[in-house]
Amino acid sequence: MEKMSMSIEVITPDVAREYLKCNTRNRAIRKSHVNILVSSMREGKWVLNGQPIIFDDEGALIDGQHRLEACVLSGVAIMSYVVRGVSDSRAFTTIDVGKPRGAHDMATYMSGFSYTQAKDIVAAARIIKAYEETPDKSKFEGRSFGRGQDNETLAGYAINLGPLLVECCDHVRQRFVGMAPKSTMAACCYLFSRISKDQAFEFFNMLHDGVFDSQDHPIKVLRDALLMRDRSARKSAQKQNGELMALIFKTWWAYRKGRDVKILRWRREGIAPERFPELA
């Protein structure tokens, strides 16, 4: 049985600062929204509207960070209901339903990961989940699991992929800026690592470092292709990601087999379209 309490409090900027120290699991603050609240408070338009600031039974702030941040910045004390002692872990997923919390917001709360870590693992997990749920992998098109579809389940899925996905996200973060999306690289790193973690990490190390003993080394050919890749706005994000993943998969196959590569391409259209490459 939950032992929740509710009271009306005068929240001064100093009190708001103290409450924000308990803000350990929420999404990143949206400055544009805070600025609107700051203006409302400074202009005397803020009213006691029944919307509470909420803490869970461990004292963590689970709703109200934008109002508290605005209170601090405005320098104005406000009246607000304050609810304490919410113990049902599902409560977090039902708050702010007007602007649903994304899967990365939920993953942050559910896992204890930092917001950046949660955002990275969920972005990669969207691609991994879409790949895993494609019955015929040869027809995979590089899509991500649909946004807005059962974010709580997706957050749980990302967390359940375990430490390996976190390692892969950390391994590729900031290493391929201008070459490829980190979500795609992290997803490929994870899929490859399930076959051989050592080879997968060596693969992405070589792709980043750009040091090769042959012009025909498959990873060198991939690196050159990524640096010259067409990122035209005429191509949809899904189409670009499909082509990118196909090239990475082809390179992984050649790397694993010890094969040289002269040219790296994937024909998804035309007279003889290729099937999506197998995961060697």
pLDDT-above-70 percentage for the chain: 85
Q: Give residue-wise pLDDT tens across range 123-178.
A: 999 999 999 999 999 888 877 776 555 677 788 888 899 999 999 999 998 899 88
Which of 122, 123, 144, 120 lies closest to 132 in space, CA to CA?
144
Read off the pLDDT of each residue in 41-63 and give the average, rounded to a whole number: 87
More confident call, 82 vs 240:
82
pTM above 0.75, yes or no: no
CB of 34 closer than 8 Å to CB of 113? no
**Cα dist from 150 to 4, 145, 154, 247, whole Å:** 28, 10, 6, 30
Pick from 21-25, 57-61, 180-184: least confident:
21-25
**pLDDT number for residue 28:** 73
Name the strand (E) or helix (H) holding 19: helix 13-20
Which of 76, 55, 79, 61 lies closest to 13 in space, CA to CA?
76
Which of 46, 33, 34 lies closest to 76 in space, CA to CA?
46
CB of 46 closer than 8 Å to CB of 76? yes
**DSSP bridge pairs for 5:** 84
How many whole angstroms separate alpha carbon 49 and alpha carbon 36? Answer: 16
Burial of residue 197 (CB within 10 Å: 0-12, 13-18, 19+) is middle
Q: Give residue-wise pLDDT tens across range 226-254.
A: 988 766 555 656 678 888 999 999 999 99
More confident call, 263 vs 116:
263
- 3-class SS of residue 216: coil
Task: Find which of 97-106, 150-159, 180-189 is predicted with most confidence, using mean pLDDT.
Answer: 180-189
Widest Cα–Cα separation across the chain? 71
